[in-house]
Amino acid sequence: MNAKIMVTIILTALLNLLCAVFITDTAARGIAAVTISVVGIGLIIVFLAKPIYDMKMRLRKVQQENDELERMRSEFVSNVTHELKTPLTSISGFVETLQNGAIEDPEIRTKFIDIIAIETDRLKRLIDDVLVLSNIENEIDVPSEQIDVGASIDTVMEMMMPIAESKGIELINEVESGLTVSGDSDRFRQLFMNLVENAIKYSDEGGRVWITGYMSDGHLQMAVSDEGIGIEPENIDKIFMRFYRVDKSRSNKVGGTGLGLSIVKHIASLFGAAITVDSKVGKGSTFYVTFPEPKK
């Protein structure tokens, strides 16, 4: 119990006792006892009001946070539904047209089947990204291991090589050897895969993409740079929001889902890493990932 309330109760009882002992006149003793009790109870109410008010305020804050989470959750569900609906509507439209006779024309048939394959791929990528995001958000016990940064980035480069080659983009690995960081190695790879994939996707044919890694003031500093289309300053903060694309049609054309950088941001926060972007429209972008100093 609150110390002030305890002291008030003890003082009230003590003063009442003193009145009973020292005031002989019954009427005066009654008035004194009532006055002391009223003042005591009044003080207790005042002392109780503050913690009750604080608790009410805390509850209100929790309620507001819950409402905000609920709003974000339902916004996410409606965004996902909308994003799923677009390719599905397109697939069912082309299937219906084929069923209604277009299947007889070999040229149209090939064209429509190609579109259906592209839309099916888009659906698959979207579902994969939603699953990755949900796994990251729900993962409570994140495995922590000593990650060999060089080996991890070599794997990222290997996996990204086919899409880089298809656009004639040179991938340059400038990660110093012997670097390590602690955390989940799958997530680490996923983070850089998304950044390198974007660097390739938002570059024109024949560009270069670098990945660098070195120690700076006790921190692991990583960066992914490209010579691509760049990002306008007013869009830099927005690109990490779920489903935000600067140019939706370009993102769709290169197989984007609008979730890649949300995943990057989430993984970075699991590592306690900060992300900053330096970009010039028409010149290229660099995404810096600064990891915290290892715990001693």
Among 83, 119, 184, 226, binds ligand ADP (CB under 6 A): 226
Closest distance of CB 108 from ligand ADP, Å = 30
* Of 92-100, 140-148, 157-165, 243-251: span binding ligand ADP (CB under 6 A): 243-251
Ramachandran class of 168: left when φ > 0, alpha when ψ lies in -120 to 50, beta otherwise: left
Among 183, 207, 213, 228, binds ligand ADP (CB under 6 A): 228
| CB nearer ligand ADP, residue 36 or residue 273 | 273
CA-CA distance, 129 to 136, in Å (whole number)?
11
Sign of CA dihedral 181, 184, 164, 226: negative
* Of 63-71, 92-100, 142-150, 239-247: span binding ligand ADP (CB under 6 A): 239-247
| CB nearer ligand ADP, residue 214 or residue 244 | 244
Helix (H, G, I), strand (E, B) or coil at 11: helix
Does 199 bind ligand ADP (CB under 6 A)? Our answer is yes
CB-side exposure of 191: number of CA atoms within 13 Å?
30
Closest distance of CB 61 from ligand ADP, Å = 31
CA-CA distance, 54 to 116, in Å (whole number)?
58
* 120 φ, ψ (degrees, to nearest 5): -65, -40
Q: Name the site residues for ligand ADP (rule: CB under 6 A).
A: 198-199, 201-202, 226, 228-231, 239, 244-247, 251, 256-262, 285
